[in-house]
Amino acid sequence: MDAFQYRENQLFCESVPVARLAEEYGTPLYVYSGSMILDALRTLQAVYAEVDPLVCYSVKANSNLGVLRLLNGHGSGFDVVSGGELFRVLKAGGDPGKTVFAGVGKSDPEIAQAIDAGVLMFNVESEAELDSIARVAAEMGRIAPIALRVNPDVDPKTHRYTSTGQKQSKFGVDIERAVRIAQTAKDKPSLTMIGMHMHIGSQITSVDPYVKAVAKGVELIRQLREMGHPIAWYNMGGGYGIAYKGHEARPIREFAEAILPGIKAAGCRLAIEPGRVIAGNAGVLVSRVLYTKQSGDKRFLIQDAAMNDLIRPALYESFHRIWPVAVPEGLPAPPTDYEAEIPGAEPRDVVGPICESGDFFAKDRPLPPLDRGDLLATFSAGAYGMVMASNYNTRPRAAEVLVEGDQAKLVRRRETLDDLVAQELDL
């Protein structure tokens, strides 16, 4: 399902014209489709139905309370990596009993907060962290449920910054150490190891790395159970890639077909932590052209959105489709594949106002003629967009709107300049 479609040369999110939202709430503006978010959640719940899945939406991808509330209302659990994300889940009415807590650097107060809330399990990322969770739980007179995060040493064939399951990565414990750490855990009465966790990377576009990882996990679960650990959960993490361009990603169903046999063999319930595949294509960032400019042979479109709003192109040189919100008469809908010739298009660099050469959304991108005041849509911005936004150059963060059918709800207002200085002292 694609909730972003052009009708009569205008971009719509579900039944709402995106240009109308830009008029009403200003730009830059994040626009999310609620139906697309729920569609991905339901697909995930359905394709894994055989193994009684718990979809723990990865809050880091898009932590807007409106988005969390929507997912919570449809049976989603949550994957959090900080006390802050746990706080958001609870604020959104989320069930801590369906929430898993990962991250390599959990502090004692965060551990206590999660035990107090009653999270389903901690994903434990090191032996030292195991000690901390055991100590904090013992001090609170509680037994903390844990899953050991194992690093299966497979190459997910993704960007090096989003690869997490190889030996040299900071995440999880290597599979050889896992057995020894599990032995240590046996001697800690304030812990109960109910699961095993893996997360091999993000924006993974082939099923093969999952197949390799699951095979290693099944064997490890057998060993953990032999040691007496009551392993009930196989947490396969997230990482399912989406199509930023063309048809680069595999459908959700194909990942499931690859993963399911192993999970069934392990005889576990499956937890998964998808982020991008739920929120990524369900969001666009809307911006307005401020200036056009030519320098030598280079043509620039200077827009009012910048790397502080969407840092992915600057950080990973990642590709996002960009297209006008109103398509000039006679021009096509946005290309899914930029390899194809676009009639009348000219290559431009789409850049923002920030004082960094890395402040670009696209380089030499074929785009129809555009002028000051025209609106642009940057697609696939629903995940790792707003959550990675900053106030660099003292730019207020954008507003966010959640659309469902013909209803559009402002779910975060634009920051004001007063908001930006409010936390500073001696004013």
Ligand X SMILES: Cc1ncc(COP(=O)(O)O)c(C=O)c1O
**Which residue from 322, 242, 334 is spatially nearest to 284, judged by alpha carbons?**
322
Structure tokens at 405: 């059918």
Residue 384 touching ligand LYS (CB under 6 A): yes
Judged by CB under 6 A, how many residues of this single chain contact ligand LYS? 6
What contacts 24, CB < 8 A, 6 or more positions away? none
Residue 356 CB, shortest distance to ligand X, in Å, is 25
Helices (H), 8-154: 18-25, 34-47, 65-72, 83-91, 108-117, 127-139
Residue 235 CB, shortest distance to ligand LYS, in Å, is 15
Asked if residue 23 belongs to a known ligand binding site, the reply is no
Query: CA distances (Å), 56 to each of 70, 197, 300, 327, in order?
Result: 13, 13, 41, 38
Binding to ligand X in span 332-391, by CB under 6 A: 383
Structure tokens at 139: 């001090």
**Which residue from 14, 1, 7, 54 is spatially nearest to 269, judged by alpha carbons?**
54
Of 217, 275, 283, 352, the residue at the interface with ligand X (CB under 6 A) is 275
Residues 91 and 66: their CA atoms lie apart, in Å, by 10
Residues 191 and 195: their CA atoms lie apart, in Å, by 12
Of 99, 202, 287, 308, the residue at the interface with ligand LYS (CB under 6 A) is 202
Of 58, 62, 303, 308, the residue at the interface with ligand X (CB under 6 A) is 58
Is 355 one of the catalytic residues? yes
Residues 361 and 309: their CA atoms lie apart, in Å, by 10
Q: Which does 312 bind (CB under 5 to 8 A by kind): ligand X, ligand LYS, none?
A: ligand LYS
Asked if residue 276 belongs to a known ligand binding site, the reply is yes
Residue 61 touching ligand X (CB under 6 A): yes
Binding characters for ligand X, 159-178, by CB under 6 A (x = yes): -----x--------------
Q: Which does 76 bind (CB under 5 to 8 A by kind): ligand LYS, ligand X, none?
A: none
Secondary structure element (H or E) that encloses residue 387, with its range? none
Q: Which does 274 bind (CB under 5 to 8 A by kind): ligand X, ligand LYS, none?
A: ligand X
Residue 276 touching ligand X (CB under 6 A): yes
Strands (E), 118-276: 121-124, 144-151, 173-174, 191-197, 233-235, 269-272
Residue 280 CB, shortest distance to ligand LYS, in Å, is 9
Q: Which does 273 bind (CB under 5 to 8 A by kind): ligand X, ligand LYS, none?
A: ligand X
**Piece of the chain touching ligand X by CB under 6 A; list 3-11, 273-281, 358-366, 401-409:** 273-281
What contacts 252, CB < 8 A, 6 or more positions away? 40, 43, 44, 47, 240, 277
Residue 248 CB, shortest distance to ligand X, in Å, is 14
Residue 79 touching ligand X (CB under 6 A): yes
Residues 373 and 39: their CA atoms lie apart, in Å, by 34
Sign of the torsion formed by the C-alpha atoms of 63, 66, 70 and 73: positive
Residue 199 touching ligand X (CB under 6 A): yes
Of 66, 77, 238, 334, the residue at the interface with ligand X (CB under 6 A) is 238
Binding characters for ligand LYS, 85-124, by CB under 6 A (x = yes): ----------------------------------------
Residue 390 CB, shortest distance to ligand LYS, in Å, is 13
Residues 269 and 21: their CA atoms lie apart, in Å, by 42
Residue 203 touching ligand LYS (CB under 6 A): yes
Residues 398 and 29: their CA atoms lie apart, in Å, by 5
Match 């380089």 to its residue by tokens: 363
**Which residue from 183, 194, 178, 190 is spatially nearest to 100, judged by alpha carbons?**
194
Asked if residue 30 belongs to a known ligand binding site, the reply is no
Residue 106 touching ligand X (CB under 6 A): no
Q: Please report, in range form, the residues annotated as the binding site for substrate.
A: 276, 312, 316, 356, 384
Task: Return residues touching ligand X (CB under 6 A).
Answer: 58, 61, 79, 102, 164, 199, 202-203, 237-240, 273-277, 383
Binding-site residues for pyridoxal 5'-phosphate, please?
A: 239, 273-276, 384
Contact residues: ligand LYS, CB under 6 A = 60, 162, 202-203, 312, 384
- Residues tagged in the binding site annotation: 239, 273-276, 312, 316, 356, 384
The residues that are catalytic are 355
